[in-house]
Structure 1
Amino acid sequence: MTGLAGAVGASLIGPGGQALGQSGGRLVVGTWGGDYARLLDKHIDKPFLVPAGYEVIQDLSGDPERRAKMLAEKRLRRGSSDIQALADTTMYQVFDQGLTHEIDYSRIPNAKNLLANMRPNFGVYGIYSGMVVLFNPDRLPTAPTSYAEILDPKFGSNIGVIDIQYRHNIATAALIAGGSVTKIEEGKRLLMELRRAGLRIYPTNEAYAQGLQTGEIIGGIMWKARALQWQAAGIKVRAVTPKEGFIPYISGFVIPKNAPNLDGAYAYLNAVLEPKVQLGFAVDLGYDGTVSNAGIPADLQARIGFSAEEVAKMNALDFKFFFEHEAEIKSWWDQTFKA
């Protein structure tokens, strides 16, 4: 027992003797369900937090629901969560609303290994990928080379999008129809044209994968990481980086200002950046790492990452714009597009 306690204590000390935070206590992590929640438990909770004495509890619900809950709890001295897993645009939004802490990177020893463009002040980036063209090569022998070629009304109900990706779906349609991710009115018109033609809307990533596997759809748009994961599961699908330039997706974590266990939150963020965690998500989920020492094998890196030329053409989302239009976008998506 003494040896185990010593090992746990050592695991909470970073290079140079920096403490990662007080061990033990209840740690509530707000996150999506499905594969992502399972992999957080597999790669972060059980290997790093539980041995250090933390009781990790996952609070599973969608992004909008968790944000609404954070806003409702804003005036409380103690909120109900210590960490929230969110997409990059949403991470910015909750910070701008004054709901989350500015990140103190001095409390995260592993942050020294973050890539230069992966160090925002509003949260810690964990993994990233990009929106690509997805298709079944048996049913569509000629590979589409652009978003516009796959999101075409001629395919009717043979293509689909995912409900929870509403923001990126609108951004992709805007890029096709208006030449910019912020041309959302043009994007809405294209999406409505696709919807009238029979475009399918799937509630989750897992439901979308089932649609591909059963042949209900021939493709659509999706994160490259997911495409690789589905290939590994035996689903007949190929991924192509669009010639318009891919739209990135970055997933990370924020700390609510009224997090009950602030030390535990920082311990969690440090664990997110552990090389073994980053490698685990690359292997199991196909997402690229945000640190320089992840040790991702070259062959895997070539499959999950993007070339320098592709990164140079990347169409990053305008966080401020999408924050200002979030209510309008979500309302339109739920009440008009899905109606």
Structure 2
Amino acid sequence: MSRFSVTRRQALLGAGAVAAFGAGGARAQGRGRVVVGTWGGDYARLLTKNIEDPILKPQGWDVVQDQASDAPRRAKMVAERRLPRGTVDIQGFSAANMHEMGEAGVAEEIDYSRLRNAATIIPAMRYKFGVGHIYSGKVVLYNPKLVSAPTGFREAIDPRHGNKIGFIDIQYQFVMIAAALAAGGTVGNIEPGKELLMAAKRAGARLYPTNEAFAAAMQSEEIALGMMWKARGVQWQNAGIPVQTVAPIEGVPMYVSGFSIAKNAPNKAGAYAYMDAMLEKSAQEAFAVDMGFNPTVTNAAVAPDLAARIGFTEQERARLVDLDYAYLARENNAMKDWWDRVFKA
């Protein structure tokens, strides 16, 4: 992949000039249109608030969001693979989806020399086909008014809790991984956890379609415990929902949200500029405050009281478990089929 030089070359995109790249990394000098695929809701709003408006737009970039859930956006990338130019430059995905799109041959292998902020990226957040933007871990949530603090996933889905257990439909992968860890399995072998989930279901565990529906059930005390990203738990605490969090003793599966660049992106210069902007110290710190997720760069400063709420102790960090992304990509269809045909039946 060649690098652009301001003094040698300046490509045009549409009505504006795209960013020029020098040996030091991305330095936007002109204007260009950058199309960003992302989920909607708070995340899209905060991308605008913390990255696009304060960093990219003053540099002259015209940012357009293509909002949808990840499944149709992934399908569109695959459908457009034979086009010389796709319709989206950079896509927001989980680390599992970044791996999947790389294996599908539609995501660009990241050229870290094109990122001015590459040196500050936490090593675990440097992926072959994407870069981590924010991360958290799957923890147990519980209402201390209704149940005693569980030690981990096994206690959280114990059938004795009956219909006070809540699961989230759209998080089937992580629910199955958590149950596997509770049953002595691994992130690369979810089979041991299936019977634990079925036992909880037979005891009356409730299933909610979305994160928001689960939060409403916690708020109304319809349920007393379940599992969720610690970051989301902090958001709910801020909203007055009566939840506390526990880093499970069986291990804390990591959730990483990041960005991949389409292999046929019409504006790769803009895509790298967007990726660099998301890694800026100011943007990373703002996301920690606004969304409760941990920064993926080493130079972000998070206030000690906030760090204690959104982060993990030294002992808890030792229990952080990254996922087996190759396993998930290979087994996802089978996992979804079991979830829909067996667990939800």
Is the TM value for this pair above 0.5? yes
Task: Indicate the larger mover: 219-228 or 28-37.
Answer: 28-37
The CA distance in 1 between the partners of 2:216 and 2:236, in whole Å, is 10
Letter in 2 for 1:276: S
Matching of residue 336 in structure 1 with residue 342 in structure 2: yes
Question: 1:263: Cα distance to partner?
Answer: 0.9
Measure the CA separation in 2 of the matches of 1:328 and 1:75: 27
1:286 is aligned to 2:258: no
Query: Match of 1:143?
Result: 149
Report the TM-score, using the length of structure 2 for normalisation. 0.89
> Structure 2 counterpart of 1:273, which letter?
L
Pairing partner for 1:261 from 252, 263, 267: 267
Provide the C-alpha distance between the structure 2 equivalents of 1:156 and 1:235, rounded to a whole number of angstroms. Answer: 21
SS, match of residue 59 in structure 1: strand
Aligned to 1:71: 78
Amino acid corresponding to residue 137 of structure 1 in structure 2: P
* Whole-angstrom CA distance in 2 between matches of 1:32 and 1:338: 25
Residue of structure 2 aligned with 1:105, choices 109, 112, 125: 112
Per the alignment, residue 271 of structure 1 pairs with: 277
Contact 1:23 1:264 in 2 (8 A): no
Corresponding residue for 1:116? 123
Q: What is the CA–CA distance in structure 1 between the aligned matches of 2:303 and 2:21, rounded to whole Å?
A: 25
Written as runs of structure 1 = structure 2, the 5 A alignment for 1:164-183 is 164-183=170-189
* Cα contact 2:185–2:191 (8 A) shared by 1: no
Shift of the 262–29 alpha-carbon distance from structure 1 to 2, 3 Å rule, reads same
8 Å Cα contact 2:37-2:66 kept in structure 1: yes
**Is 1:233 aligned to 2:220, yes or no?**
no
Aligned counterpart for 2:66 among listed residues 55, 59, 64: 59
Partner of 1:224: 230
Q: Counterpart amino acid of 1:172?
A: A
Deviations along 1:147-205, one digit per CA (max 9) or x if unpaired, are 11111222222221222222111111111123322332222232233233332222222
- Pair 1:39-2:26 in alignment: no
Q: Which letter maps to 2:36?
A: V
Equivalent residue letter for 2:54: P
CA distance in 2 between partners of 1:288 and 1:146 (Å): 21
How much is the aligned-residue C-alpha RMSD, in angstroms?
Answer: 2.0
1:128 matched to 2:135? The reply is yes
Distance 1:154 1:273, change over 3 A: same
1:156 aligns with 2:162: yes
Judging by fraction of residues, say which structure has more strand: 2
Deviations along 1:120-172, one digit per CA (max 9) or x if unpaired, are: 221111111101110011111x2111111111222222221222222111111
Equivalent runs, 1:280-319 vs 2, <5 Å = 280-319=286-325
Residues in 1 aligned to 2:250 and 2:222: alpha-carbon distance in whole angstroms: 27
| CA pair 235-15 structure 1, distance change in 2 beyond 3 A | farther
Matched-pair contact (CA < 8 Å) for 1:22–1:263 = no
Per the alignment, residue 210 of structure 2 pairs with 204
Could you tell me how far apart the structure 2 residues matched to 1:330 and 1:212 are? 25
State the Cα distance separating 1:102 from its structure 2 match.
0.6
1:285-304 CA distance string (max 9 Å, x none): 11111111111112221221
Q: TM-score, normalised by structure 1?
A: 0.90
SS of the equivalent of 2:123 reads coil
Cα distance in structure 2, aligned partners of 1:15 and 1:279: 27
Q: Which sections of structure 1, spanning at least 5 residues, go unmatched?
A: 1-11
Structure-2 separation of matches of 1:335 and 1:50: 47
Which structure has the highest helix share of the two?
A: 1
Q: 14-23 or 307-316: which moved more?
A: 14-23
- CA deviations on 1:92-143 (whole Å, 9 max, x unpaired) are 1111111100111111101211123222221111111101110011111x21
Q: Which amino acid aligns with 1:135?
A: Y
CA contact (8 A) 1:246 1:315 kept: yes
Letter in 2 for 1:85: G
- Identity over aligned residues, as a percent? 52
Q: Secondary structure at the match of 1:117?
A: helix
Structure 1 counterpart of 2:6: none
SS class of match (1:51): helix
Whole-angstrom distance in 1 between the partners of 2:79 and 2:204: 37
**Structure 1's 222 and 190: CA in aligned 2 closer, same or farther, altered over 3 A?**
same
**Structure 2: runs of 5 or more not aligned:** 1-18
Change over 3 Å in CA distance of 1:87–1:300 after alignment to 2: same
Letter of the structure 1 residue corresponding to residue 98 of structure 2: M
The CA distance in 1 between the partners of 2:343 and 2:87, in whole Å, is: 33
How far did residue 308 of structure 1 move? 2.4
Q: Deviations over 1:43-100 (max 9, x none)?
A: 1122122223333222222222221221111111121211111111111111111110
